[in-house]
Amino acid sequence: MTNENSGRDMGEVMDATVTYMKDRTGRSLDEWVQIVLSSGPNPHDLSAVRRWLKNEHGVLLNTRWAIADAAARAAGWKRPKVDEYINQQYSGPKAELRPLFDRLRAALEDLGDDVAVEGRAGYTPFVRRRQFAAVVAATRKRIDVGLRFVTPPPSALIVGSKGPGMGTHKLSLESLEQLTEAVEELLKAAYEQNG
C-alpha cells in the first residue's frame, strides 16, 4: 500500500498544506479561519467543521484538517496532551481495557528509542519515520491494533484491513494473555518495516 505522504510526518504534511492552501483553494488559512468563525459550525467541534468544509466548500482532506485545527485554536481550544487523549479513550465502559493498552504501549515503545506516541481522539498512533502501529479500543472488550506492513509476515493473527490508523493489517486482543511472543514479533516487524 503506497501513501503519497510516506516518509513525511503529519507536521510536514500540514506545513505543506498551509503553504499551498491559497493556490489550491483560493483562500489563505487565515481567510478560511474567518469563514469558519463567522458562518461555520461550532469551531470546537472539529469533526463538524471538517464535514462542513467538505460538504459546503468541497475542501480536500488535509486542508480540512488544517483549517479545523486552526479555527478551533483561534476560538480558544487547546489540543489535549497525549495522555489526556488516552485517558479519554480508556474511560467509562472501556476502562477495563486500560491495563491491556498500557502493556501494549510498553511493548511498542520498547521496540526503539525512536518510537513516538501521538495523540488522537479515536486511537493512539505509534510512529517512527511514519506511523507503524495504531491502537484503538474497538469495543468494551476488544482492542484492535492496526499494523502497517510493506510485506506482511505470514500469520493467522492478522487480517488485511484499512486501519486502525494507517494500518494495512490488524490484529485483535481481548486479554493480557493474548499479548504473546507471536504478537510482539508482529509489532517488531511493523516497526522494522517503517524505519
The mean pLDDT of 73-79, rounded to a whole number, is 86
Residue 78 has what pLDDT?
82
Q: Is residue 3 part of a domain?
A: no
110 and 59 share one domain: no
Residue 137 has what pLDDT?
96
The total number of structural domains in the chain stands at 2
Q: pLDDT above 70 covers what percent of the chain?
A: 93
Does pLDDT of 5 surpass 60?
A: no
* Residue 173 CB coordination number (10 Å): 22
User: Are the C-beta atoms of 41 and 52 separated by less than 8 Å?
Assistant: yes
**Dihedral sign of CA atoms 105, 107, 110, 116 in order:** negative
Q: Could you give the CA distance from residue 21 to residue 24 in angstroms, rounded to a whole number?
A: 5
68 and 115 share one domain: no
Q: Which domain holds residue 121?
A: 82-193
Q: Is residue 95 part of a domain?
A: yes
Of 72, 187, 192, 157, give the one whose Cα is nearest residue 121.
Answer: 72
Full-model pTM:
0.68
User: How does residue 4 score in pLDDT terms, banded at 50, 70 and 90?
Assistant: very low
Q: Is residue 39 part of a domain?
A: yes
Number of residues that this document lists for the chain: 195
User: Are the C-beta atoms of 156 and 173 separated by less than 8 Å?
Assistant: no
50 and 92 share one domain: no
Angle, vertex CA 4, rays to CA 127 and CA 136, nearest 5: 35
pLDDT tens-place string over residues 44-53: 888 899 999 9
Does pLDDT of 8 surpass 50?
A: no
46 and 101 share one domain: no
118 and 181 share one domain: yes
94 and 54 share one domain: no
164 and 141 share one domain: yes
48 and 67 share one domain: yes
| 126 strand-pairing partners | 117, 133
Q: Which of 74, 91, 109 is the last residue of a domain?
A: 74
pLDDT tens-place string over residues 122-179: 899 999 988 999 999 999 999 999 999 999 999 999 999 988 988 999 999 999 999 9
Q: Which of 53, 74, 95 is the last residue of a domain?
A: 74
Higher pLDDT, 4 or 132: 132
Q: Which of 54, 74, 94 is the last residue of a domain?
A: 74
